[in-house]
A and B are shown apart, each in its own frame.
Chain A
């Protein structure tokens, strides 16, 4: 992230007491909460309205995060370069109130994968640009594609104007919609994103009217400093040293497992993470540098101090290095659609290294996955007959066991945190029937505290469809800590008559079914030390752990 400690655009002479800053910080948090709620409630796609796969934030005029709502950590990756890219590509004097910028590209737009479409609107007070309201929605589109390079993955949109002074740029909109498989949903979700930004502009303007623009901007700066101080205080309390961790990253996008490693050096109140990874591959699992930053900031904050404000200040003591052109720091034209699996693995890699420094403050390995299932087909009946449909969902797995408690069962971990779609909504919207949704016996890593259990979902198709599954931990379960065992592995089980999936790609005929099993979490501590009462409860509740 580009950091300007002293902004060239305007000096901020106001000096503030910590109480005023705290009061304004509360107000900023209210604004991003409200814009997020507006986005979800006005949206149409199941991915936003029920699964809440979206985020909202406020940025200062240079594009530094002032405040991000507690939605999806990986979305920060798309945010942090977006405003700087706008400022780099457009003449500042020509940016006007009511302009709305749209973008998604991993290289020209600071994005992390193409379905995450960002909308940013500048906020003007007294004719000067003071801040940006920004939101991101994961549009479930660009499905059933190849991923050898980014040109196969969907429409690339650089940061361009979707609206000029509140008037829609119809040419741009039409071009985008023609490239989408479910244009009606895209249009509706974009409208919800617009509505959310309008709320952000209105609330931020009110806040400036109340406290004075200079005071709000100065408080914004001070909040960044504050997050930095807390991050430094937290890092200073960790033991200095260099900690290395390695793991093998297997997935359904690339035939070979990829070795990943990190060396973490904690020195005083700073931390450096040096990653090592193979060169980028012709598959969708590459991470852009911004995705790597967002992932790193997320997990470092979680370990060091979960209460640090999620703004750009927390990044200042963190240095992230990775070989350019590698899987974790890819270059054009690498494909990136499935980067979330890599983000999850990087998060666990960092946990593994931090466990050597502070084993009492980290969990064992989570299920390391964000298991993704994408269904696509052509509607065979109903009012939308002959139109395309795309349904994306992500499936949780086991959380890592903690030093004082079992891992959480069937949850989303790390860079993502989306809801499931209610079955009673899924089956109304798509030609699918869910036959089973349960915790997987034998998937928890054994331990004094066991890992969380993975999930099983069994789907039956009522119309023909194509399926794409992204998953990891097929070969080796998630690692335990301090003598804890590995979690259970993941798998795809085709039902009768269904052809085996080819690297995650499958086809279902109407009436056929298949199941997905997500991985479990690693255990913590020697299983021999598990409390006898807990062992009895496990037996009573038919909970078994993965074999050691």
Chain B
């Protein structure tokens, strides 16, 4: 076991970019023993993926290895006489091609884009076999089917003839793993293998990698920024920052006694479940929220304070019985059949009190984005009501038209998930933030300018950058621009749809703290949509758990995490990897896909034809969707 499989010595990689030379990797050394798991940790831009690509020699054309050695020895290369220096091989030569995919494989972050959309799974997995082994097409197909069974495909034979877009994200990643492992490599490089997946799927994939590693006896080089994943999978950890190794050691040493300030900072930037009440995250590069301009804030100028009695009229937002069905595409001449389509949101009711932050948690496809779009009138639900308390006057949101709707838009604003797609690349930041003010005819040119400057300061950005275009900002800065734009109209309610899920951990802490500070400063109310339980735990006062379009549990934050009642909530909580090796995921407990199938939840939670349970109040605002006939004490 102790044989060194891979030894990277003083590796240097440079990128030729229009502006000159970028040293992406500046002298990195580490080693991977046969059969072991090494994690390469760092934020984006730390050079960890570049290092991995160098091992496979699949660097982009603008990059070149300028120094160092990559020694690979699986006991078979060079007829078993010694290691081969990968850095010295021709990138597309026969020797390198035989290693690539044969002895060293890689799986990528995005299972959708990493598989060709035009070829079947069987074709793509079988191709890998045929490239490296002398087998017929039929044998390759059999081997591919066997591998698909090993990665737990429900019906491997049928899966051979499916296309990637017909599969769920989890199954796609399984297909990708099957493709990487079908030739039994000695080393698997897993480049952020679970970052794009839901927590429960992530836990399943992590378990799968662990199982297959034991089964096939391969080494794993895990590349990730998620310390929770590291704590669960890796035996050794290498921390990278700006192309250099900051710290390396065994998992226990690294987590118990982090030495390097960068690693400490990284550990402090991740939200954890056991944070003390009121404890703040420590972003690696912290920003401070700017002062509002002197002599009274322009943002607050036309914001009327709430009369004491106004809150008695009702919660800020009350949602009752919302249903939304997406129609199947028309298949006949006379429209879709009744009852066809997907029920995206089913009988959702909840209320948000003023000043509260309500977290909405669920896996992708559970309807949380649909719901938030309904709330801002971007989609119209089939049934249900949405009522908004505008300073004591109750407004029926779904009935608003014309000017009343325009006025309502000022009260509710949206922050999007993707900071790249949500800003118009052809507008300078000034225009982007000013646009809502122009649309609603607020102030004259000079006043708008002052307001935009104030907003820039508020989200901690430099007012000198107002003339720049979005592409010259980083992801976190863009997200702050998005927040500034949403705040421009001084809304009461902000709908935050996965605002940090596209950001790096270090940046995530920055934006979360900013949102917290803004809420306090401006007295905002948030609906915080996320799939990340730890993030919701950090932000929210009350949490709604959503699955398959229904809210299955809602509770104050502490109650939900202390005493989760619904099996789905429990599965979600169990699936979150914690950055603490002493508390590993109980990987064996994870039922394959059962957790999110309402028909397979145990009674009294089962939802199927015969059982249509409603929310049952367990006291103290803790509700769970279960059969009303069951006594509350039994479940709780």
**Real complex partners, A and B?**
no
